[in-house]
Amino acid sequence: KCRTGPLDIVFVIDSSRSVRPFEFETMRRFMMDIISNLDVGPNATRVGVIQYSSQVQNIFSLKTFFTRADMERAINSIVPLAQGTMTGLAIQYAMNVAFSTQEGARPLHKRIPRIAIIVTDGRPQDRVTEVATQARNAGIEIYAVGIQRADMNSLRAMASPPLEEHVFLVESFELIQQFAKQFQDKLCGVDMCMEREHGCQHSCVSTPGSFYCECNPGYRLNVDGKTCSPIDACADGRHGCQHHCVSLRGSYSCRCRPGYYLSHNKRSCTMIDYCSFGNHSCQHECVSIPNGHYCRCRSGFTLQPDSKSCKATDLCNGVDHGCEFKCVSTEGSYHCVCPEGQQLQADGKTCSKCGAGHVDLVMVIDGSKSVRPQNFELVKQFVNRVVDLLEVSPQGTRVGLVQYSSRVRTEFPLNKYHSADEIKKAVMDVEYMEKGTMTGLALKHMVEHSFSELEGARPLSHNIPRIGLVFTDGRSQDDISEWARRAKESGIVMFAVGVGKAVEEELREIASEPVEQHFSYSADFSTMTHLVENFSLNICPEEGKGETEIRSPCECEALVQFQTNTVAILQSLTEKNILWARSLAQMTARLEDLEKQIANKK
C-alpha cells in the first residue's frame, strides 16, 4: 500500500481507434492494479477516470466512488470511443472539470496532491504544450505514459518536471502490467516523514518525494512551516458575539454581560426579564433593566414613595392645558369643554359662537326618468349656487350629494371635498341616472351612510346641525314612512322639495316639524324660487304657551343662515328663467313677423 497521504488521482485514458480491443483491456488492468494498492476513501485517496478520442467522456469523477470494488466495476464497463486522438482537449477537460471542487477535488489550501496519469499510444492530433503548461501551473502533477507508437516529444511536453520521474515509455501493451509495479513505486515513493528529520511540531504529512507539516485543530502553521501557534478565533472579529468573545484552543465561545443570558443561537444576548418572576408588586407596569427592575405608572398617574403604587394626576392643575373655558380631568388625561351654546374648535381648546351657517348638509336629488335632462341640469345649478354661499371647509360647512332613481348612488360624501370649487366641479360632473323613483331607499341610504362619521358627519356632541334636503318630482315607488321617521329621530332636520308630479302627502311625511316650515311644492322646475319661501325663518327657540322648546343657539343660527342663502339662490335662478322666457317670446314674435312678410311677397 502507498504510505503517503491522500491523493486526488485522475486517469486520462486514450481510447482512439488505434487502440485495439485486447490492448484496451490491458489499460483496464493497469488502472485496476494501481487502484488496488491505493488507500481509497472520501478522506483518503480519491480516484476519477476519463477517456478520450475525438471527444472527452467522464467515466466517473473524484466524488463518485469511494471503494475499489465500485471503481473496478465502472472501469470494466467502459466502451472505447474509437475515434481520433485529441490529447490536448482531454488535458483541458481534466484541468477545468475533473479537478474542480464541484467534481470532488479537495480545495488547494488543503494541499492534497492533484495527479493526472495520461496513458496514450499515439501522437496527439491537437496541441498539448500550452494546455499542459496551464494544467501544471494550476497545481496538477502530470505523469505521461506512452505505449508503442507514442511520441516522446509530446510525452515530455505534457509531463511535470523532473521528466525522468514523470515520463514513461512502454514498448507494448503486453508489458504495461509489468510496468504498473514500477510506476506504483514512483507514484507512492517512500514515506519522507519516516526517512528524515522533518521538524514538524505537531504532525508530518508525506507526499511523493516530499512532505509538509500540519498543525492540530485550533492551531495555525507559522511562517517557518514547522511550528504551530494557537488560533485566536476572536481576533478576526467574525465571531458574531453580541457582548464578549472568549477564545479557546482554535475555537471560541460567547458570553453575556451581567443581567443577560445567552440565546439559543449561542451568539446573541437577551436581557433577563426580572418582571416575569412575578414578585415585583408594581401596581401598573414593571420595567426590567439589567440586574433588576423598577415600577412605572401609566400616563396621568404618579409613582408614590413606596416605588410601587400609583395615584391619578390632576392634569388640569399640573399642566398648561390651554382650555379657554374649562378643563375636565379624566383618568390619565384631560379635555376642554365650552359653555352651553358655544362650540369647541378644531384645536380642542378654544370656544366660539356659531359659524356663519356651518352645517353638515346632504342633498338628495331625484335622478329619475321623469325629471328630464334639462331639468336635472337646473337642479345641479341650484346645488352649486347653494355651495357658493357656504363657508365650505373641514371646520365649517361640509356638503355631500346623493342621487337616486331605481337605486342610490353617493356622488360624494361629506368628507370628500374641502373647498367650494372642488364641490362645484364634482356637481357638474354628476351624470343623470334616469329610471325609477325609490325615495324610501334614498332616505335609508342617507340615514345609514351619508350622516355617518365614517363619511364625514361630525359627532352630535359638536352641535353642528345635520340637514337633509330632498328633491323629488314624483310619487315614490317604495315606502318612505319608516326611513323618514328614522331620519328625524336621529337628529337630521329634513327639508322636502317637490316639483311637478310630487305627492304632497309624501313631502309632508319627509319634512321635519313644523311641517309647513320644512316643505314646499312647485308645478315645474322653472318656478322653483317659491319652493323655500314658505320655510319659516322662525325656527330658533321661543317660548310657547305653557312650554319652552330648548335648542342649541348655534343650531338655530346655522339653520337660519342656510334657509336665507337657499331662498336667495332660488330667486336668482327664477329671475334667469324669466329672462330666458322673455327672450324666447321675443324671438317667437319676430319669427311670426318674418313669416307674414314672406307670405305677403308670395
Q: Which of 538, 518, 573 is nearest to 386 (CA)?
A: 573
Residue 349 lies inside a defined structural domain of this protein: no
Check whether 539 has a pLDDT greater than 60: no
Give the model confidence (pLDDT) of 328-375 as tens digits.
Answer: 887 767 888 887 656 777 788 887 654 445 788 999 999 998 888 888
Together in a domain, 53 and 179: yes
Check whether 2 has a pLDDT greater than 60: no
Q: What is the CATH number of the domain that holds 34?
A: 3.40.50.410
Give the model confidence (pLDDT) of 454-502 as tens digits.
Answer: 999 999 888 888 999 998 888 889 999 999 999 999 999 998 888 888 8
Together in a domain, 148 and 291: no
Of 250-264, 385-399, 527-541, give the lowest mean pLDDT range: 527-541
Confidence band of 287 (pLDDT split at 50, 70, 90): very high
Together in a domain, 521 and 441: yes
Residue 594 lies inside a defined structural domain of this protein: no
Together in a domain, 409 and 301: no
Together in a domain, 303 and 372: no
The residue with greater pLDDT, 255 or 165, is: 255
Strands 114-120 and 140-147: parallel
- In this prediction, residue 164 carries a pLDDT of 84
Tell me what the mean pLDDT of segment 500-522 comes to: 84
- In this prediction, residue 187 carries a pLDDT of 63
Together in a domain, 305 and 366: no
Q: How far separated are the first and last CA of the chain, in Å rounded?
A: 139
Domain closes at, from 187, 212, 232:
187
> Domain tally for the chain?
3
Q: How many CB atoms lie within 10 A of CB 284?
A: 14
- In this prediction, residue 571 carries a pLDDT of 61
Residue 81 lies inside a defined structural domain of this protein: yes
The residue with greater pLDDT, 518 or 389, is: 518
Residue 300 lies inside a defined structural domain of this protein: yes
Q: What is the CATH number of the domain that holds 288?
A: 2.10.25.10
Of 191-195, 243-247, 503-507, give the lowest mean pLDDT range: 191-195
- In this prediction, residue 367 carries a pLDDT of 92
Together in a domain, 147 and 286: no
Check whether 95 has a pLDDT greater than 90: yes
Strands 343-344 and 260-262: unpaired
Residue 116 lies inside a defined structural domain of this protein: yes
Check whether 145 has a pLDDT greater than 70: yes
Together in a domain, 529 and 380: yes
Residue 115 lies inside a defined structural domain of this protein: yes
3-state secondary structure of 534: coil
Domain enclosing residue 289, as ranges: 277-312
pTM of the model: 0.38
- In this prediction, residue 341 carries a pLDDT of 55
Residue 523 lies inside a defined structural domain of this protein: yes
H/E stretch holding 219: strand 219-221
Together in a domain, 404 and 460: yes
Check whether 209 has a pLDDT greater than 80: no
Strands 492-499 and 519-522: parallel
Together in a domain, 282 and 429: no
Give the model confidence (pLDDT) of 3-53 as tens digits.
Answer: 556 889 999 999 999 888 888 888 888 888 888 878 889 988 999 999 999
Given a contact cutoff of 8 angstroms between Cβ atoms, the answer to whether 436 and 414 are in contact is no
Q: How many CB atoms lie within 10 A of CB 533?
A: 10
Together in a domain, 290 and 371: no
